[in-house]
Amino acid sequence: MPVSLSRQIAFEVLRRVEAEGAYASDLLHTELKASVKPTDAALATELTMGVLRWRRLLDFLLERALKKPVERLDLPVALALQLGAYQLRFLEKIPPRAAVNESVELVKMARKTSAASLVNAVLRKIATQAHSPAEEFLPPDIVRAERLAILHSHPTWMVERWLSRLGESQAVALLEANNRAPRLSCAPNDASRREDVMRGLEQAGMRVVPGQLLKAAFAVSGGSPTRTEEFRRGLFSIQDEASQAIPLLLGVRPAERVLDLCAAPGGKTSALVRAAGNTGFVVATDRHAHRLRATQMQFKRLGLGGPHLLELDATQPLPFRGDFDRILVDAPCTGTGTLARHPEIRWRLRPEQLAQSREQQSRMLTMALARLAQGGRLVYSTCSIEPEENEGVIAEILNNLPSIRRLPSSEAARTLAPSVSPGTDSSTLFTPDGDFRTLPPAYHADGFFAALLEKA
């Protein structure tokens, strides 16, 4: 029997994620062309992201039947088993026979015919247990962190950190949020046309609801907004609400000099360009030329007068003669606040990488502050929820640079207040120290951190 297009796409995307270190969201964006039916696109996305989110639990269940680690299997065989197990346990509308048979066909398609009988036997056994709670299969003496890590499909070391820092209730809420499909949030290019854009998307058959964090934002479901005329015309961009909030924290005013380090792919930069206006001067930099080209394409789609683009390494002294009134350092990070959107990160990340990230982030921030004008404001942000990359970096900088101060919480909250949704108290988004923070369980947004700094 032929394998459905949706399963073929999911299988190939998962293979490339594992073999090439690619990101599933990027690959799906490339694979799901307009010629792919919406139903096939939706199932391919569900299968790909579902397997990546639930990989550890799926492997735990599979290994009970295999009697050996999944990692010892050839990659195509492991992927076929994971895809089948995910459908059997999580997708009730798919007949078990279809889930098993198409997984068998996938290994044949991958020229692993000798494994077809193994895949068939293992998945048939999984099918008989599909409605049994996974907790029934855990050893009775399993420790708390390991139990939660298996049931919620995360690395044990990550769960141990969150239990220690957040407590069990908040840690479990975070684990659960990481395993839900993220909210598809959008930012209008022109806030005054927001209602028109929302109506256009509704007429295209999508469900559109207001944002929960920002009054200009909205969220869509029930279709692919990138296939709409409104998206092609540059009337909106897809961007998480917490990410949308970061450039607003700078409080950019017309005619100011603005620097956006690590700017690609340009979502935050576009907000800075709009705020600076025709009289402003905006420079956007990135270390990789291909990412700057993507930024340029983004500005072309939006119809905005683009910033000055510059390829550079932000850990080295910045090659500017003048200083900047506003600087955004949206630093490269481990991305632990985006595990629902990028589930593969949880399987790639190692604890020692936190220290490596912190060293790079501290260097970037130091270089950026050297180019901040007196009285100017800098926002340091990450999509990480780990203290080493956030509070730890800021504490080090404040200790080494006495001329830099952190904006107090009340002042930081006032900066964002005009932009938050009705009924939202902007002060609840800031810590007592004045840092902006979101966690995935709240507002259906990614986990972001931002510190607002000024130079005396």
Active-site residue list: 383
Q: Are 372 and 452 in contact (CB under 8 A)?
A: no
Phi, psi of 404 (to 5 degrees): -100, 130
DSSP letters along 383-451, please? S---GGGTHHHHHHHHHH-TTEEEPPHHHHHHHHGGGBPTT--GGGGB-TTS-EEE-TTSTT---EEEE
DSSP letters along 338-387, please? GTTT-TTHHHH--TTHHHHHHHHHHHHHHHHHTTEEEEEEEEEEES---G
Q: Are 256 and 326 in contact (CB under 8 A)?
A: yes
Q: Are 77 and 69 in contact (CB under 8 A)?
A: no
Beta bridge partners of 258: 282, 326
Phi, psi of 126 (to 5 degrees): -60, -40
Query: What is d(CA 313, CA 319) in angstroms, rounded to the nearest whole number?
Result: 10
Sequence-separated (6 or more) residues with CB below 8 Å from residue 92: none
Q: Are 71 and 82 in contact (CB under 8 A)?
A: no
Long-range (24+ apart) CB contacts under 8 A made by 286-289 are 286/262, 286/311, 286/312, 287/262, 287/311, 287/312, 287/313, 287/314, 288/264
Rounded (10°) angle between helices 96-109 and 75-90: 170
Query: What is d(CA 240, CA 439) in angstroms, rounded to the nearest whole number?
Result: 12
Rounded (10°) angle between helices 75-90 and 38-53: 100
Query: What is d(CA 347, CA 366) in angstroms, rounded to the nearest whole number?
Result: 31
- Measured CA distances, 92 to 10, 40, 248, 363 (Å): 18, 17, 43, 50
Which two tokens mark 122? 């293992």
The helix, strand and coil proportions of the chain, stated in percent and rounded to the nearest 5, come to 50, 15, 35
